[in-house]
Amino acid sequence: MSKTKYSEKAQDKIGEVMHEFKEGKLKSSSGKKVTDRKQAIAIGISEAREEGLKVPKKK
């Protein structure tokens, strides 16, 4: 079983977003506070993808 590969910078970006989420400061695109961990990770991945960092393709 192979693990999904994320670049170091992408991991850092997702880490920053998770830190915001844990502090309760992460907002979704609609402006509401994010309360779901999986949604926070998805936001981090999409932000990393927008910056052109190495993130696996969508399935």
Host H or E run for residue 38: helix 37-50
More confident residue, 1 or 27: 27
For the entire predicted model, the pTM comes to: 0.85
More confident residue, 57 or 48: 48
More confident residue, 23 or 59: 23
Q: Which residue has the tokens 């994320």?
A: 6
Query: What's the pLDDT score for residue 1?
Result: 61
pLDDT tens for 5-52 read: 899 999 999 999 999 999 999 999 999 999 999 999 999 999 999 999
DSSP letter at 27 equals B
